[in-house]
Amino acid sequence: MKAWYIKRYGKPDVLVQGEQPEPALNGDDVLVQIHAAGVNPLDNKIRDGEFKLLLPYKLPLVLGNDLAGVVVRTGARVQRFKVGDEVYARPDDDRIGAFAEYIAVRESALARKPASLSMEEAASIPLAALTAWQTLLVKGQLKAGQKVLIHAGSGGVGTMAIQLARHLGATVATTASAAQAPALKALGADVVIDYKTEDFTAMLKDYDLVLDTQGGDTLRKSLAVLKPGGKLVGIAGPPDPAFAQQRGANGFVSLVMRLLSYGIRKAARRGGGSYAFHFMTASGQQLEDIARLIDAGHIRPVVDRVFPFAETAQALDYVATGRTKGKVVIKVR
């Protein structure tokens, strides 16, 4: 099958197109013919080797963390899917490979594609929507009437998180460029703060939850807007001890993560709040729930550009600029 893969970690030129073996099926796997694949900043980070300690992939590695397509074969133990089903997924961390013609996905990570979406639209959803779902609902425990700040609202995760938070009945603030304010308010943001000219810490206070997608100075400053007992959830790091335990990290890696996050965890506790790092996990059940929200009109995809399969490398370069509005998608078939 045709695929985009890396033989070693490095910068953009390590990504090449060529032939790779069609994936083999385990008993609980579903073979999906990929029609479209989403592109995420995570793809560039994996390519660059930023996650090689946490995710020790075997090389050569086919990249790609989002997909939509059609079931073409099922393993002996698969019960929920049959040949011809239209599906979408974020594969498990150790089973990525959406920049290809076929992929084997564990049944537990797979869900039926929202009926109201095209393949390209559906491929834009899984990673970003699962990240929003797990950070807001699971870790953030966001409820109706609470207030949430979502950083970088015009990005893939941001556009999903704004819509989900609004559907939950929360008051939603977000940071973005002034030019994006009308579009983000249409998605459900109550307050849009221009990160270029305005200081969100001077404009917001007593927030129940902050979803940080930036890390660094933005992460630390976000503590200032939390109410006592408020939660800061970050997806750009630093990783915390709970994440090390979740990943089954060895003693050295666990210690490194504890040290990396010590400062922000201590600062959060000093202010009466908490900090947690989150790395999205695959869940077909959550994607089924998200599909129902999409088909009911509560959440819609925001797609910036669709690239042909032959221009996958250019798609990753475009995402690396950090200027995308919503998601970038590759049309595979």
Q: What is the pLDDT of residues 89-110, one digit of tens each?
A: 999 999 999 999 999 999 999 9
The candidate with the shortest Cα–Cα distance to 128, out of 211, 9, 238, is 211
In this predicted structure, the answer to whether residue 301 has a pLDDT above a threshold of 80 is: yes
In this predicted structure, the answer to whether residue 154 has a pLDDT above a threshold of 80 is: yes
Structurally, the chain folds into a number of domains equal to 2
Last residue of a domain, one of 235, 261, 277: 277
User: Does 268 lie in the same domain as 144?
Assistant: yes
The candidate with the shortest Cα–Cα distance to 164, out of 187, 191, 180, 147, is 187
In this predicted structure, the answer to whether residue 181 has a pLDDT above a threshold of 90 is: yes
Task: Report helix, strand or coil for 322.
Answer: coil
User: Does 170 lie in the same domain as 104?
Assistant: no
Look at residue 161 in the predicted model and tell me its pLDDT: 98
Look at residue 179 in the predicted model and tell me its pLDDT: 95
Residues 23-33: tens digit of each pLDDT: 999 999 999 99
The domain that contains 177 carries what CATH number? 3.40.50.720
Task: Report helix, strand or coil for 105.
Answer: strand
User: Does 141 lie in the same domain as 31?
Assistant: no
pTM of the model: 0.95
Task: Classify residue 292: in a domain, yes or no.
Answer: no
Instruction: Quote the percentage of the chain above a pLDDT of 70.
Output: 100
How distant, in Å, are the alpha carbons of 11, 36, 63 from that of 100? 20, 9, 8
Look at residue 53 in the predicted model and tell me its pLDDT: 76
Q: What does the alpha-carbon distance between residue 224 and residue 230 come to, in Å, rounded to a whole number?
A: 10
Average pLDDT over residues 34-48: 96
Q: What does the alpha-carbon distance between residue 40 and residue 105 come to, in Å, rounded to a whole number?
A: 19
Helix boundaries (H) for the chain: 41-48, 119-123, 126-133, 156-168, 181-187, 200-203, 216-222, 241-247, 251-270, 284-295, 312-320
Average pLDDT over residues 142-170: 97
Task: Report helix, strand or coil for 234.
Answer: strand
- For every residue of 6-47, DSSP letters joined together read ESS--SGGGEEEEE-PPPPPPTTEEEEEEEEEEE-HHHHHHH
Phi and psi, residue 261, nearest 5°: -100, 0
Look at residue 294 in the predicted model and tell me its pLDDT: 98
